[in-house]
Amino acid sequence: MNVYEAVTTRRAVRGFTGRQVPAEVLERVLAAAARSPSGSNLQPWHVYVLTGAPLAELKKRAGERVDAGDPWDEREYPMYPAELKSPYRERREAFGRERYGALGVGRDDWEARQRAAAANWQCFGAPAALFVYIDRDMGPPQWADVGMYLQTVMLLLRDEGLHSCPQMAWSVYRTTVAEVLSPPEGLMLFCGLSIGYEDATVRHPRTGRAPLDETVTFVGDPGRRLQAA
């Protein structure tokens, strides 16, 4: 699989089979992902890999919280601005329509939406998951480094025939994750990443992307601009 294939076939898969991911595959992917770029080579990511009994225990504890209706943990970082302006608001709304429409869940069916969200904390059935932390005193450039690291991991997983789903949803169950992982106090949970083999019986809508001219401006190439016009 070349890089273009990895990029175009990567998507957030929300349904995995129980087929185990070989430990040597995860080690190979993470060893290669260590080459991801980071400013001044800080490598600000701290990664925990969960499989087997520890992951089962985390899913159990998370499921108990869902069943008990426990309130979410307060997020330690904002997922989105308080007020999303255009065009970001419309893109988020389109995602919601595609995501829940594929599940047959109506816009006002809050209970069904909650059930769908609960699958996050079971890693959508995935047999492996990463939990990615960052030092609390790191700034936006280091958060960007962690994002590049995660993208590298996800593309390498595609080369191994695996799929993944990055999940900031775990940030609202961060205390439950900490109960299982016992991370140092100075680390903040950014997200989880479910990993496994896709369950082809689960429908996954392919979300759209904005046209190139909506997000990219070419400067200094008159021929390219004329062609686009």
pLDDT string in tens for the chain (229-residue length): 899 999 999 999 999 999 999 999 999 999 999 999 999 999 999 999 999 999 999 999 999 999 999 999 999 999 888 898 998 888 888 877 776 666 666 666 556 566 677 889 999 999 999 999 999 999 999 999 999 999 999 999 999 999 999 999 999 999 999 999 999 999 999 999 999 999 988 877 778 888 898 999 888 876 555 555 5
- CB hemisphere CA count around 113 (13 angstroms): 11
Q: Which residue has the tokens 């191994």?
A: 160
User: How high is the pLDDT of residue 163?
Assistant: 97
User: How high is the pLDDT of residue 224?
Assistant: 59
Question: Which neighbouring-strand residues pair with 166?
Answer: 193
Name the residue among 40, 14, 47 with its Cα closest to residue 152.
Answer: 47
User: How high is the pLDDT of residue 208?
Assistant: 82
In terms of DSSP bridges, do strands 163-167 and 128-135 run parallel, antiparallel, or are they unpaired? unpaired
DSSP annotation string for 71-99? PPPPPSS-SS-SSPPTTHHHHHHHHHHHH
User: How high is the pLDDT of residue 94?
Assistant: 81
SS3 content of the chain, % helix, strand, coil (to 5): 50, 15, 35
pTM of the model: 0.88
User: How high is the pLDDT of residue 228?
Assistant: 52
User: How high is the pLDDT of residue 32?
Assistant: 98
